[in-house]
Amino acid sequence: MTTRFRALLLTGCCLALLQSTVAETVLTGAAFAALLEEARSPASVEAILRWRRHLHTIPELFFEEFNTSAYVRQQLDELGIPYTYPLGITGIRAGPIGAAEGPVIALRADMDGLPITEELDLPYKSTTRGRMHACGHDGHMAMLLGAARLLKAREASLPGRVVLLFQPAEEGLGGARRLIAEGALEGVEAIHGVHVMPSMPAGTIGTRPSTIMAASDRFAVTVRGLGGHGALPHTTRDPVLAASAVVMALQAIVSRETSPIDSAVVTVSRINTGPGAANVIPESVELVGTIRALTAPTFERLHTRLEQVAAGVAAAYGCTAENVTWSAVPYPPTQNEAAMAALVLDVASGLLQGGQGGEGDEGQGGAGPGRAVVVEPMMAAEDFSFYGPAVKQAAFTFLGTGDPALGTDAGLHTPRFALDETQLPLGAALQAGVALEWLQRRAGGQAGAEAGGAEAEAGARDEL
Ligand SMILES: [Zn+2]
Ligand SMILES: [Zn+2]
């Protein structure tokens, strides 16, 4: 089965509108309508909001998600879903939901919060100063629990199995990698993850049949010279001047050495001279920043050239570039597998059009514009990228939650980030729908055929 879609327009925004027909899915329009209706039922909405709001009050940092994990496990107990714990210190592999045997698809949510102090005065705001779910991972967990509820209700008819991965440490330390190393993907043939996206209109579902997010690494480099009195610069080797020149020269790696078609970023975000008087030239300056690229070769070249340029330019000023350090866990590019992404778009279209005669694109229940879209790749990164090389049929999807009227369009990782909770049931239905459709296609041999074709075409694969 191939997915046919037409990009309708690209008018200054990053979204190409998608038109896809429900008829291309194994699940019927009625099945999608029923799934979404059930996800939006009072009992489902009450549970999803209760889960999300409680989790929002208890944000924890990477590999410290003990209370978060305990709460998720408690909900799994109440849903009657078994689990393996711990994986990756706080991670959970729940399930399987479904048949005793058969193909396995994994659905993933991340669990960690951020070292940010929440500014909005919500009734369920973070109870810990300096900790905040500012990337929506609380919503991801609630959606996955919501999907679990939907799938559990259909357990007897599933032609295979669904496992749920609640992973730690997405924000920089590669919790996904740790989970994989500890066997979380055993038997898994396909995997899907969803991220809320305030820069996309609420109710929009977007993914991409290739690289969707960038590779990411972070660097620090010390430019060392010879300090002295600011009135006697000729007796010093000024590391501030040298570091300034390094910052400028690093910009040429992207603007002069990288094809304009090949997206890359070199950002120096901090210049640290340490404490000192205004008339004292310091001994050294530390530069800190990040590099991003959409392909592995460009990513590798950015690493090499950053070190070469820093050393060469520092030397021209009589200084040295020392102690270059990189992240413990650089994130590779997030590369969606084409057939899996097509399946996700089919399911998104089915959910958003289901029950409306198939041609409407106004969405369901007035919860946003309701469009399935192919998105442009973005230079943020995600550790979902580690799953792709381990599970070929991997796709990562964005759920639009931006609504200026609700004030939910503030960026991820900002202290005023707020989630449009009304989209969470749609996200739960999407996760469940992807699993149901994949299992149906797999049972009919269609997913296998698609996966084989994509495999023959190309093999392929940080943090928001
Ligand atoms: Zn995130
Ligand atoms: Zn994030």
pLDDT of residue 444: 86
Fold category of 6-214+333-457 in CATH: Aminopeptidase (3.40.630)
Which CATH number describes the domain made up of 215-326? 3.30.70.360
C-alpha atoms less than 13 angstroms from C-alpha of 71 in its C-beta half-sphere: 20
What spacing in Å lies between the alpha carbon of 291 and ligand 1's midpoint?
18
- Ion ligand 1 residue ranges (Cβ < 5 Å): 135, 464
pLDDT of residue 376: 96
Q: 215-224 and 264-272: which strand pairing?
A: unpaired
Q: Is 328 exposed, middle or buried (0-12, 13-18, 19+ CB in 10 A)?
A: exposed
What spacing in Å lies between the alpha carbon of 170 and ligand 2's midpoint?
7
Phi, psi of 247 (to 5 degrees): -60, -45
What spacing in Å lies between the alpha carbon of 143 and ligand 1's midpoint?
14
* Closest ligand by atom to 197 CA: 1
Q: Is 129 exposed, middle or buried (0-12, 13-18, 19+ CB in 10 A)?
A: exposed
In 3D, which of 309, 301, 339 has the Cα closest to residue 454? 339
Give, in order, the Cα–Cα distances in Å from 304 to each of 216, 298, 299.
14, 10, 9
137 is in an annotated binding site: yes
Q: What is the DSSP letter of 182?
A: T
- The span from the CA of 73 to the CA of 76, in Å, is 5
171 is in an annotated binding site: yes
Alpha-helical segments (H) within 292-375: 296-316, 338-353
pLDDT of residue 100: 85
pLDDT of residue 1: 34
pLDDT of residue 369: 53
413 is in an annotated binding site: yes
Q: Where are the domains of the chain?
A: 6-214+333-457, 215-326
Residues of the chain short of pLDDT 70, as ranges, are 1-23, 354-369, 445-464
Q: Is 323 exposed, middle or buried (0-12, 13-18, 19+ CB in 10 A)?
A: exposed
pLDDT of residue 24: 76
